[in-house]
């Protein structure tokens, strides 16, 4: 599981070397170098390269937010693992609630807990190449009925 990094550990009026940042957040120096590649701003006209505390703080705050948003259509958020997960064996059940909404139910590959989320029936077509969806018998015709929706303005 990814470490939860506290952006507030970075003092905004300080500059840090890669090594200092690694020590501060108990991560490997290569992790810090990845952050730099990923867009963390550095003061690169000096050696050793220095990372501004304020930039570091912003970078980690943004990273934290984007981690929260990262649930893909074919992933389900696991409350126990606090992370989006692709259901084990790529297998999910679809349990309809009404004509257009239902639940995707799968098993978390990390903790074996049940994970589920609300799912619009029209979107099933977008995940059927990623997941093996088990539908109730009454919905076996789903592939026929949702195909025309492929051209709709789904984003
Ligand atoms: Zn889990």
How remote is the CA of residue 127 from the centroid of ligand 1, in Å? 20
3-state SS assignment for residue 137: helix
| pLDDT (0 to 100) of residue 143 | 53
pTM of the entire predicted model: 0.50
Q: Indicate whether 154 pLDDT > 60.
A: no
How remote is the CA of residue 111 from the centroid of ligand 1, in Å? 4
How remote is the CA of residue 104 from the centroid of ligand 1, in Å? 15
Q: How far apart are CA 94 and CA 74, in angstroms?
A: 12
How remote is the CA of residue 90 from the centroid of ligand 1, in Å? 14
Write out the E strands in 20-78: 42-43, 50-52, 76-78
Which residues are within 8 A (CB) of 139 and not within 5 positions of it... i.e. 6 or more apart? 94, 96, 121
Q: What is the pLDDT of residues 63-88, one digit of tens each?
A: 877 666 567 899 999 988 888 999 99
Q: What is the pLDDT of residues 10-27, one digit of tens each?
A: 999 999 999 999 999 999
How remote is the CA of residue 35 from the centroid of ligand 1, in Å? 26
| pLDDT (0 to 100) of residue 27 | 94
Query: What average pLDDT is seen over the chain?
Result: 85
Which residues are within 8 A (CB) of 61 and not within 5 positions of it... i.e. 6 or more apart? 7
How remote is the CA of residue 85 from the centroid of ligand 1, in Å? 7
Q: How far apart are CA 41 and CA 38, in angstroms?
A: 9
Share of the chain above pLDDT 90, in %: 60
| pLDDT (0 to 100) of residue 140 | 59
Indicate the angle between helix axes 18-25 and 29-37, nearest 10 degrees. 110
How remote is the CA of residue 115 from the centroid of ligand 1, in Å? 7
How remote is the CA of residue 113 from the centroid of ligand 1, in Å? 6
| pLDDT (0 to 100) of residue 54 | 93
């Amino acid at each position: 599981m990814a470490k939860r990094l506290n952006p507030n550990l970075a003092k905004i009026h300080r500059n840090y070397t890669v090594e200092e940042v690694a020590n501060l957040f108990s991560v490997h120096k290569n992790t810090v170098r990845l952050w730099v590649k990923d867009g963390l701003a550095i003061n690169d006209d000096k050696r050793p390269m220095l990372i501004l505390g304020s930039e570091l703080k912003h970078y980690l705050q943004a990273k934290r937010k984007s981690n929260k948003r990262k649930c893909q259509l074919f992933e389900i958020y696991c409350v126990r693992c606090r992370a989006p997960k692709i259901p084990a064996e790529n297998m999910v059940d679809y349990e309809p609630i009404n004509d257009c909404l239902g639940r995707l139910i799968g098993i978390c590959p990390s903790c074996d807990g049940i994970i589920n989320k609300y799912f619009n029936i029209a979107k099933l077509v977008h995940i059927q190449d990623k997941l093996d969806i088990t539908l109730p018998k009454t919905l076996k015709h789903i592939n026929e009925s949702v195909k025309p929706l492929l051209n709709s303005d789904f984003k």
